[in-house]
Structure formats: C-alpha cells, structure tokens
Structure 1
C-alpha cells in the first residue's frame, strides 16, 4: 500500500527526541508498504531525503518549545496549508496516516478524503483541544465549542482512530465504534537502552534522579524543584537531580532553583539521543512530571517508556494510567506533586534498602519487554494496515 504519513515533528535517531514515527514508518516499509512522510524543519527551504526507506519531505515551517501560543498556532496553520498543497501533488497515495498534535493535522487528512477520496487513520497523541483549554490557552467559549466539534468530526471521519493511552481511548469512544478504535501506546526501545544502574550498597551512597523532557508549562518541573528542596532540607545529601531538556520555562525554573539555594541540581540542557542514554545509565531513578490538570493524566510520554527500557525506578507525579502501571508492576511510585515531604518518605525506603531498589528496576525492564517493546508495538501497528488498499489508486 502507498501510505502518506503526516507528522509535523518527525525526528531521526541521530536527532533524538520522540522517535515513534520513525520506527512506525520503518516498520511499514519493512512490511512492504511505500511510505511518504510530510514533516517540518526550522530551515528556510523545502528539501527531501530518504530515511531508511521512508521518503521524507521537509517543509520550512519553524517551531520551537520557546514559542508563545500565538506563534505556535501560526506554525500549526502554516504547516497545514503547506502540507495540503504538497499532498495534493503527490501521486498514488492510497491511505493517509495523520498524527496529532496539533489537531490541525486533521485538516490535511480531511482535505484528501473530501477532494481525492483518500481514506485516513487518525492518531491521537495528546487530547486537543482539551489540553490547551484546561491549561488556559483557549478561553473563548465559541472557539472551544468549534474545536471540540472539529475534534469529534475528525474521529467520525477517520477509518480508524489510534489512541496512545487508555484515557485517550476513553475520550474517543463516544464518537467512534469500538471496533475502529485502537490502543497503541508509546514504545520502549529495549535494544537501545541497556538496563542497569550504579550499584548502591548503603544508605549514603549517591542516588541520582533524572528528569528528561520539555521544560514547559504543561510539565511544571517546578514540582521537581520543590522535591529537591525537601530532600536538601531533610539532609539527603546523597540524592542528586539531573534535569535534561529545554523549553519556555527553563529560565524561570533556574531562577527558582537559585532562590531556593539548591545545591543538588544539575542542569544538563538539551542533549542528543546518545547523551540521554549516557545520563540514564548514571541514574537510579527517573521523574515524570506534569501539571495537575486532569487532561494531562492521559498523556503517554516517551521518556517514561525510555525509563522502563533502561530499568530505572520510575517515579510519576500524575495519577491515571501511569500511576496504575508503576504501582501494579512495582517498578516505581506515584508522588503527590503538592506534598514534597511525602516524596522524601517514599524515596527513603529505596535509599535504605538497595535490594528493594534493584527489584523495582528489574520490574521496570520486565514491564518494558513484556508490554511496550518497540518490536511488539511495531507489529501491532503494521497489523492495522490491510494488504489490499481501502480504495484503488485514482491517479
């Protein structure tokens, strides 16, 4: 089948970041499909390259985590318009696979369906518009209603809808038959990440907690700084925090850390994939951080699954399915972000009992291998695509 894959934030392994689309696109190619992918880059010119069998078209549409909301919307709309123009020139497309965010990606898929009779699958990585509405970015009631109506219309028009978490799937269910909804979480790359952490034999041995991800409003990494402060106040000098990433809140967070006189924080900045692996190898635990808005409990953050693959004590500050995963499989714990002292109490058990820590780390790796390995997720993904096209080539 000739598949058009649309993802504004496509990344290659050497770039790091979220590699879901790279691995899923490659799995389609390996299964015998032809994959053409539209994405964006921060350069000034359009260009095209072959990425391990995927024909990738790069549109010159700038985007950065430091952009304010208006700049982000402009970037989304620019990419949508350019993608529609390019998609309409492509030949032999039989199916479109559109992955959000942003929700505007769906406009490209809808245009192809309405004007060229090309069916589409729609992948929901984050729930839009619920997320920006709950975060306070979209306050106009009429804009909210229109966006919700558009979201639901996309679900109904898609042949299949893929959600990355049980919470996302639950939000899709009222608008789509269950037979057309699929749960396909992010993946744990158990080949790339080797399990293992520096050995701890006593309470006072160094203990590293790593945060890897965006430093944005939705992540609210200030929670982690409050935890670092609580550890410092309770004399846990052996506990060190490493923050990897960048974003709009980076300067604010560093100012908070300075005001709290935190001596247990290392700011690593943005790193490539290999560097991230090196930092994870040094860590004993990871911390997944989100703000307290209920919609963020549905997230499927790729760094959470990297933590599982690397065999780390996996700490989450959000309820929902991530909490259920770490508690059910005993590979980490939920830490109430508004009660940093409770975090200290929970962590102390692992500091005092190295075998307990080791068991949790082993459980994390086991969970990655059994439920979220890249190979298993890729196989399930490829099975969504029939051997025969949904419609004949019309060109």
Structure 2
C-alpha cells in the first residue's frame, strides 16, 4: 500500500518527543509499504537538525527521507511556548497547506493523527474528493480535552471543532484510539463503531542495551530518584510536582530527589523552586537515550496528570518507557492506567493533589528493595507482552489492511 500520514509532530529518537509514527512508519516500510508523512516543525522534534544538513532546506515545503520514510515537511513552527492564538494559527496553516498534498500525493490509504482536530481537513479532502480510504487516529480527545482544561471556550471555535470531529469519524473506514477509555468515549458520544485500540508503545531494544551504564553524576550521591519526563505544565501535573518537592523538604526526606527532564510553561517556576530546595533538580529536555539513562537509575517514575476526568483516557509515553525500564510507576488518573498497574502490581495510583500519598509510595519502594525489584520485573514483562512497538505496528497494519479492504 501507499500510505500517507498527516501528523504535525513527527520526530526520530534523536528528538525530545514521541516517536510513535517514526517507529510505525519504519516498520510498515520494512513490510513493503510506502509511507509518506506530511508534518511540520515541532520544536521538540529533531527536524530542524535534519533539515539543516539537507540541501533542499529552503522554502515552505522541504522533502526528506529518513530510514525509508518519506517526509514532506511544511515550514510551520509549532511550540508549546506559543500563545493560544499563535498555535491555532499554526494548526490552521498546516491543515490548509496539507490539503494540497491530500490532492496530489499518491495514496491508497490516508491516516490523520489528531490532535489537533484540524488535521482532519486534509484527511476529509483525500476522502471526499479523491475517494481514498481514511483512518482517523485519536491520540487525544479533541476538542473535548481542550474544553475540559479551559483552553478552548469560545463557541465560535468549539462548535466547528465538534463538527469537524463528527465529520472525520463518519468519513473514516476505521478510527484508532490509544486507549480503551478513549474508544468507550467515542462509542458513547459519537456512536463510532469501526474502532481499533493501538496504544502508545515502546522500543524495547532501546532498553535492552547490555552496555554498562555510564556513571551517575557526582551530585546525585546515593539519593534515590523519583523521575518525571515530558512536558512541564498544569495539564501534566506540575502542581503536584511542586508540592511533592516542597513536602519532601519539609519532612526532611532528602534521601529522595525529584529529577525533571522536560520543557514547558511551568519550567521557569520549577527551576526557581529548585534553587531553594534540596529535593528538586530540573535538567530540562533530553533526547531519548538520556531518558533511558535516568530511568535506569530511578526508584520510581512519576506520571501525574491534572484532576480532569477526560485525562483518564490518556496514553502517556512516559508510562510505557518506565515499564520497559522496569521502573514502578506512581500515577494519578482513575481509569485504564490505574487498572493496569493494579492488575499487574507494578505501581501505585494516588490522588492528583496528594503529595503525601506520593511520598508514602516512595517510602514503600525504598524500604522494601525486593518488593521494588519484583514490581520492576512485572513492569518489564508487561511492556514486553503488551506494549512492544514492533507487535503494535503489526497490529495496526492488520487493521489498516482490513480498513483498506472494507
């Protein structure tokens, strides 16, 4: 098949962002399919670096090939640091320019990966004008998530966003979600019945490296690490991170150290806080290989999200990376992740505004090393059995074949 993917956030493992479509596309290419990804320049990806070494780096449209994956890169910058209006403008620019490629690129099947929901525009053009099969992927529930978190309130935006979402679900031969809870939401609200669940996964090979890990930095000493990786902001539980660091300091629990690898709107305030506390270090964004380095040294991984029911449907990459590294998880949602950790006994679910519960979980892990190691082994087994990207890519591909033949 010739597969065209509309996805704004493409990155390879050298970037600081999800590599979902890098791994999927690479795997499908090995299976004999031609994959073209139409993307933009996200500041956490490594596309700027790739474009800088490519002779065709000028202009609005740039063409690359990465490990057999064809990239059409639209020179539209995307950043979490942009204002809301600027991000909306970036989304719309990408969607409108992508419509040209929806009309021109050879394709048997088109995948649109949302959010933002505006990626549905070129997908609908490919479906309605060129009659190509459409697979619509929900990585996040748009616009429901943005509305629940207060980022999208204006009816002039919410009404057309819901209209676009409905149109995409109806036009799609298949809707792919990243969690069971997302699928249940779409069945209930939009009566979507052509569904497949393909969660985020992890490249197990990145965690199977047998090389001896580099020594830990001298400033770490013998302290035990609670690791957070990813975006630093209110949606991602920055308030809980702050209160945990303060509470550890108040309790004199200096055997624990909160280490943050990430970027986002809360980074500056957390950096200032770290200057006053001995329980917090903010290292900023790091490429995947350094994330692996720190996961191997962590007592536990923190996966917090804001106290909003819609976020219980999420499928955060940091969860699967922690499992693959054999690191117990401390997380805050009341949904499929909570059930997963409880069923496989590889982590704790705590209230999203309760730092004492986080600290109690840390103490249990630190005070019972054998139980912690057993939880880590179960986590690694879970990652291998359910979240291996190679297996997930084949599952996804089987669903694409079914959609193409329907």
Are the counterparts in 1 of residues 120 and 164 from structure 2 also a CA contact under 8 Å?
A: no
- 1:201 aligned residue: none
1:368, CA displacement in angstroms? 0.3
1:220, CA displacement in angstroms? 2.8
1:39, CA displacement in angstroms? 0.5
Structure 1, 227-236 or 59-68: larger mean CA deviation: 227-236
Counting only pairs closer than 5 Å after superposition, residues 1-395 of structure 1 correspond to structure 2 as: 1-41=1-41, 45=59, 46-90=61-105, 92-141=106-155, 143-174=157-188, 175-178=190-193, 180-194=194-208, 206-258=223-275, 261-386=276-401, 390=405
TM-score (norm 1): 0.91
CA distance in 2, matches of 1:151, 1:290: 24
Q: Any unmatched runs of 5+ in structure 1?
A: 199-203
1:73, CA displacement in angstroms? 0.5
1:189, CA displacement in angstroms? 1.9
CA distance in 1, matches of 2:76, 2:322: 31
Are the counterparts in 2 of residues 38 and 83 from structure 1 also a CA contact under 8 Å?
A: yes
CA distance in 1, matches of 2:168, 2:224: 47
CA distance in 1, matches of 2:250, 2:137: 44
RMSD of aligned residue pairs (Cα, Å): 2.3
Are the counterparts in 2 of residues 65 and 216 from structure 1 also a CA contact under 8 Å?
A: no
1:55, CA displacement in angstroms? 0.9
1:15, CA displacement in angstroms? 1.9
CA distance in 1, matches of 2:6, 2:102: 10
Q: Any unmatched runs of 5+ in structure 2?
A: 43-47, 49-57, 216-220
Are the counterparts in 2 of residues 195 and 311 from structure 1 also a CA contact under 8 Å?
A: no
Structure 2 SS opposite 1:209 = strand
Pick 1 or 2: higher relative contact order, CA cutoff 8 A, min separation 6: 1
Q: Deviations over 1:321-344 (max 9, x none)?
A: 111111211111012121212222
Q: Deviations over 1:101-150 (max 9, x none)?
A: 11000111001111111121000000010111011122224532332232
1:387, CA displacement in angstroms? 8.2
1:66, CA displacement in angstroms? 0.7
1:164, CA displacement in angstroms? 0.2
CA distance in 2, matches of 1:250, 1:226: 14
Structure 1 SS opposite 2:400 = coil
> Runs (4+) of structure 1 moved beyond 6 Å?
195-198
Structure 1 SS opposite 2:81 = coil
Higher percent of residues as helix: 2
Structure 2 SS opposite 1:122 = strand
TM-score (norm 2): 0.89
Are the counterparts in 2 of residues 95 and 390 from structure 1 also a CA contact under 8 Å?
A: no
